[in-house]
Amino acid sequence: MKHITTWSGLDAALKGASVAMGNFDGVHRGHQAVIDAARRPDMPLGIVTFEPHPRQVFAPDAPPFRLMNAEARSNRLAKLGVAFLYELPFTRDLASLTPEDFARQVLAEGLGIKHVVVGADFCFGKGRAGTAQTLREDGKRFGFEVTIQPLVGGDEGAISSTAIRAALGDGRVRDAADMLGHYHRIDGEVLHGEKRGRALGYPTANMAVEGLHLPKLGVYAVKVEVLSGEHRGFYDGVASLGVRPMFGENTPNFEVHLFDFTGDLYGQHLSVALVEYLRSEAKFDGLDALIAQMDADSEQARAILING
């Protein structure tokens, strides 16, 4: 997958795509339907999206809401067979373009798209004045086809990032996975931590979660893909998402223990799938009680992951 971060001065080889356009936060089943509708046998498949998320520009002090960081979104889109990821820098200058100017300057002249698919609720341009229908009219003028994809429904209505956030916040990771079409994942680089887990017999890979909507704090059974380095591959494990009350800390942290693994993962990139919520955070009466609970968590997680 080619990762393109501009819409001007592109080589002809990076143009002529059939694209799906949107923010694709979570790349859920509704997003996947939009992407599937963009697949054409005679055109490369592309994605037009924005970084940072527009809400981060217009409401920078709002609580974290993203289901995925840009790295996780890119990893998921690559797995769906996307050839061109047009990840456009979202600035106030871009946001100030009228819908007509965006369609002409960015989509037609800049990216040279031939076909674009958007969801029925898609809005774009200054003041979100453009709609899916006005984009279709712009496409007729500027030389690209527009497909409007109906919203995808689930058991309780339209699938949305908002509904997925609610499920994750309740610890209902299976419900979230049903709406996503895949397990919810936290992706990122392994950072140096306090190394307490190693001393307890449970070495962990520590990952940042700043800027993300946090699932329910607690312990999870997880499946881990190591995306880089000599240990690249797939592993089962257990992870803790929380503020580590046992050690008096208050900044959320994500710590992942890979079963039956030895090696150094610092600086490598992981993609961690939350398979099932095991329990909430707790403070224990001493390290022996903590280790006993970690043993129990690992045994429970192994059983869950073996049985799928």
User: Hey, which residues are catalytic here?
Assistant: 255
H helices present in the chain, as ranges: 29-37, 54-58, 70-79, 92-95, 99-101, 132-142, 161-169, 173-180, 196-199, 287-306
Residue 37: what residue type?
A
Please choose, from the candidates 221, 213, 198, the residue with its C-alpha nearest in 3D space to the C-alpha of residue 272.
Answer: 221
User: SS3 for 151?
Assistant: coil
Do 245 and 207 contact (CB within 8 A), yes or no? no
Distance CA 302, CA 88 (A): 41
| Tokens coding 279 | 């329990």
Q: Which of 159, 187, 298 is nearest to 236 (CA)?
A: 298
Burial tier of 173 (Cβ tally within 10 Å: 0-12, 13-18, 19+): buried
User: Is residue 211 classed as helix, strand or coil in its secondary structure?
Assistant: coil
d(CA 253, CA 206): 7
Where does residue 248 rank: exposed (0-12), middle (13-18), buried (19+ CB within 10 A)?
A: exposed
> Could you give the CA distance from residue 85 to residue 230 in angstroms, rounded to a whole number?
27
User: CA–CA separation, 241 vs 279, rounded Å?
Assistant: 11
As a whole number of angstroms, the distance between CA 200 and CA 282 comes to 17
